């Protein structure tokens, strides 16, 4: 059930972000849930091990995504502090729109 809730949050975030992207190209948002494997601050890239995604070609793979100046991270922690954590990521063309750390259930 926790995976379903996390995936639903990722999908809702993708829909919310997609409402204002009609002018920015194709607007295809990808919602991904997985574990942050690494973050390279020098190159502004993150690698996430995908467990669930709206892009089935990424399922079960490690995907490298690029942080941009407009990328947002919810929760106030830097990505370097989130390595090993589960998260939801909304991206477009491998560029991150939003990172949402997922809370573990007690």
Nearest 5°: the CA angle 91, 13, 24 is 50
Name the residue range of residue 51's domain: 2-101
Which CATH number covers residue 9?
2.40.50.320
pLDDT one-digit tens code per residue, 10-68: 666 666 655 554 444 567 899 999 999 999 999 999 999 999 999 989 999 999 999 99
pLDDT at 22: 46
Count up the domains in the chain and report the number. Answer: 1
106 falls within a domain: no
pLDDT band at 6 (very low <50, low <70, confident <90, very high): low
pLDDT at 1: 60
Distance in angstroms (rounded) separating the CA atoms of residues 102 and 40: 20
Sign, CA dihedral 72-27-34-49, equals negative
């Amino acid at each position: 059930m926790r995976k379903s809730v996390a995936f639903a949050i990722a999908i809702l975030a993708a829909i919310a972000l997609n409402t204002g992207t009609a002018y920015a190209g194709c607007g295809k948002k990808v919602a991904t849930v997985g574990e942050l494997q690494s973050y390279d601050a020098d190159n502004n890239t993150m690698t996430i091990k995908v467990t669930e995604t709206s892009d089935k070609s990424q399922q079960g793979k490690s995907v490298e995504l690029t942080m941009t100046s407009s990328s947002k991270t919810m929760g106030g922690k830097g990505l370097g502090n989130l390595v090993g954590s589960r998260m939801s990521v909304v991206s477009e063309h491998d560029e991150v729109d939003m990172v949402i750390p997922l809370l573990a259930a007690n």
